[in-house]
Structures are given as structure tokens and as C-alpha cells.
Amino acid sequence: MKKLTLILFACLCSLQTLSAQDITRDQRMQWWREARFGMFIHWGVYAQLAGVYDGHEINKAGEWIMNRGKIPVAAYQQVAKQFNPVKYNADEWVRMAKDAGMKYIVITAKHHDGFALFNTKASKWNVVNATPYGKDLLQPLVAACKKYNMKLGFYYSQAQDWNNPGGAVNRKVTSEGWLNPDSAKIDAYTKDHDGHWDPAQETATFAQYIDRVAVPQVKELLSNYGDVAVLWWDTPTNMTDDAAQKLNALLKLQPNIITNDRLKRPNFPGDTKTPEQKIPKAGELDGSDWETCMTMNGTWGFKSWDDKWKSNETLIRNLIDIASKGGNYLLNIGPKADGTFPEQSINSLKTIGSWMKVNGEAIYATHATTLPQPAWGRTTQKGDFLYLFVFNWPQDGKLVIPEMKQSIVSAQLLAGGSKLKTEGSTIQLPAKAPDAIASVVKVQIKR
Ligand code: JFZ
């Protein structure tokens, strides 16, 4: 009898943890699903080089300069001696994100160059020990995010590490989708190489790197900075299931944390899919939580000579396109070495912010509609409201909602708020679009 009770008790317990977990996933994901828009920040020693080494403009993304330029470990660590971001103002950064309508920030706590933006006991290769600045860069960001009610997540390159011994090195850049195809400044430094380029990188094994650096650092990140909203793993080069297991186990330090699918494939799917520099087709990723990460120009980490800036029209319409398909937009900023955002990024954030101020309700906490994608733009839905994003203003002023089955109760423009006449599934628009990039019509439907 005692045994039976014990077994029963054990069963009940496991049942309870199961159902508790089920609830937790939706609860855990709720803020993220409603947020729709976040800021990615790629910052580190590479910003100091800004895409130029030894007089050469190094091709490809700025944060890859050590790898693409085959910069020796000692030489790269010398660069840190100049990294002194005295103009870094975390409060200002968070305000810029907030004013743009962003709901979360994900910052590179450690990128592939292994440089920790935080105070770590696991490696001297960090901002406190290796730079004249000498202060933790994450701490002020944590404080500012708390102040402005902004969620904060950490990007952590768990496998690739080009400075800490034993870290993995991608042999070649296999997917070039995120590279700037027009930056044809090819020279001797940009040829593909096989693996490590400096013996200093190979004085420990990968397993030792995981135990000595990655595990303790992730533990620090998840213990010393309050609530961590997201852990954004990247490039599972050489990852073993054993290493992934050890890192994954640390997530219990933050019960509400959300993780992506880049720890190790396929056994560690995480919570979110991460299409990079591209927006999936409608329906393509239905059923999963996904986030498109994208650069504003052609690089993640700051590069002085990259001027492939996306227009505000592209950025705003990307956000709309992504929201209309049920995803999130993680838009990147590559701060300069002095701690300021590039001027172009600041300006775009402001423009997006003004648009969001008027039209944000059509983005946040909405979901994809079942309507076909209209030729004039995109649609989202929230409860009894449909939101119509008009990119191409109809010449005859008649906006037709294709395959609309429900009847319309009322329609109005979010910009200015004027009520619009409707007839069946046709909405009568004023002659001129209130917003040249995207005007939103809010439609109440009868369900
Ligand atoms: C990775 C990094 O290497 C890069 O520096 C940046 O941080 C970016 C956000 O992520 O780059 C990738 C990762 C995955 C793919 C392409 C580039 N991919 O899956 O195609």
C-alpha cells in the first residue's frame, strides 16, 4: 500500500511538472509574441577596427574581421587596448530602442572573437581586464532596461571563440546570405582558410574550452544580471551533444528565459526559429515562433566603409511584412567603438518610431490573418479588428479586401483617425495617403 501510494505520488508529480511546463511555454512566450519588434546589438573590439586592418578594407561582416583578416591573437588583443567607449550611454541606447517602438534588446555578450563585454572570472579576455575602459558594459544596460521596462537578452557565441584557447573556428563561411555582395574589396586577407590560423588558439581542446570558458560565462550571465529575457546562441560549429547539454542545463537559472534554435541542431530546438537576413514566405514557419534578424546596412558589427543603408521604407515595410506573417523583427545596430550609434541608424530609429507611435497597435500583439496577401499591402488581426497596411494607395480610392468573408462594422485611418465609408468589402479612401510608406486602416469586423 505504501509502495502504491508512493508510485501514485510520483506519477502525480511528473504529471504536474508536465502540465506546469506546458502552461509555462505559452506564458513564457507571451511577451515575446506580443513584442514583434526588438533591437539586436553587435558590439565589441571589432568596432575599433571598423572593417579596416593593416590598411586593408577587410571584406564581409565587420564582426568577422579577425577571422577574415587572419589577425593573430596577440595582435587582435592589442586592439582592445584602444577600445575605450567613453561616450557609451546605456540610458540613451535604451531610450532610442523604446522610442523606436522596440520591446526588447539582444546584445552580444560575447561574439565569435571571444571578447566578453562583461566582468568574467573565466577569461582575462574581457572589457574589464583587457581595455582602458575597464568597466562592465552590460551592467549599465541592465539598469537602463529595468528603468524603461525593456526586456534584455544576451547573444552568446557558445562554440566559436577565436581568442580563448580551444574555441571553435568556422572553417569557411558557408552561408553567404548575410554578406554584402557588392563590397568587392577582395585582397589577400579575405581568402578562405581552414580552421585555426594561430597556434595560440589550439592550446586547449574544445571540451576544455566549454568547461573553462563557455559554461562558467553563461553561468555568470544568467546569475549576475537579474532577469535575462533571451539567450541567443549562435553558430553551433563543432558543438557536441555533451557540450550543448551542459549549456542547456544552465537555463534553469532563468526559468522564464527564451532561447533560439542555434545551440546545436537538431537536438536542441530552443523556443524560436531564426531566419537571418530574410523574411519567410507567408505560412512558411506557421506553428513555430520565429524572429527575422536583419542588419540596417551590410554588416552586424560597425564598419566605417559600409554605406549600404536600407531605406526607412524598406525597414518599416519589413516590420509590417514580418508582423503580417506572425513573426518578430530583430533589427541590428552596430555601435561605434566610442559607444555611439551610427548616425544613419539613429535617424532610421526615429522615423520608425514616429510611424509606430501612430500605427503601433496594428503591429503589437497581432497575428497573421487568413486573408490572401493583397496586392496593395499587408494585413494583421487582433480580436475583432483587422489592420490593413496600404503600401500602394489605390488610384480610384477604392481599397478592396480580397476574399473577405465577415462583414465590416466600421473602418478608420489610424493616422488622423478619420472614419471611412465602406461598401461590402470595399473601403473608400481619401485621395491622398496619409503616410507615403504605409497607411493603416483599422477595420472592425463582425464575427
Ligand atoms: C551569425 C554570425 O556569424 C554573425 O556574425 C552574426 O552574429 C549573425 C547574427 O549570426 O551568422 C550566421 C549564422 C547563421 C547563418 C548565417 C550567418 N545561417 O544559418 O545561414
What whole-number distance in Å separates Cα of residue 63 and Cα of residue 301?
5
Which residue lies with its CA nearest to atom 20 of ligand 1?
A: 175
Instruction: Give tens-digit pLDDT for 79-94.
Output: 999 999 999 999 999 9
Domain 377-446: which CATH class? Answer: mainly beta
What pLDDT score was predicted for residue 13?
Answer: 41
Q: Tell me where in the chain the CATH 3.20.20.80 domain(s) lie.
A: 30-362
Instruction: Give tens-digit pLDDT for 355-403.
Output: 999 999 999 999 999 999 999 999 999 999 999 999 999 999 999 999 9
Instruction: Give tens-digit pLDDT for 17-38.
Output: 444 445 589 999 999 999 999 9
**Nearest atom (ligand 1) to Cα of 170:** 3
Average pLDDT for 12-21: 44
Average pLDDT for 120-138: 98
Instruction: Give tens-digit pLDDT for 224-266.
Output: 999 999 999 999 999 999 999 999 999 999 999 999 999 999 9
What whole-number distance in Å separates Cα of residue 330 and Cα of residue 97?
11
What whole-number distance in Å separates Cα of residue 366 and Cα of residue 389?
13
Which residue lies with its CA nearest to atom 6 of ligand 1?
A: 300
Q: Report CA(214)–ligand 1 centroid distance (Å).
A: 19
Q: Tell me where in the chain the CATH 2.60.40.1180 domain(s) lie.
A: 377-446
Residues contacting 314, CB < 8 A, separation 6+: none
CA 93 to chain centre: 15
Q: 274, 261 in Cβ contact below 8 A?
A: yes
Q: State the CATH architecture for 30-362.
A: Alpha-Beta Barrel (3.20)
**Mean pLDDT of the chain, nearest integer:** 91
**Nearest atom (ligand 1) to Cα of 274:** 19
pTM over 0.75: yes
What whole-number distance in Å separates Cα of residue 78 and Cα of residue 72?
10
**Nearest atom (ligand 1) to Cα of 111:** 7
Burial of residue 112 (CB within 10 Å: 0-12, 13-18, 19+) is buried
What pLDDT score was predicted for residue 194?
Answer: 53
What pLDDT score was predicted for residue 172?
Answer: 55
Instruction: Give tens-digit pLDDT for 277-316.
Output: 999 999 999 999 999 999 999 999 999 999 999 999 999 9
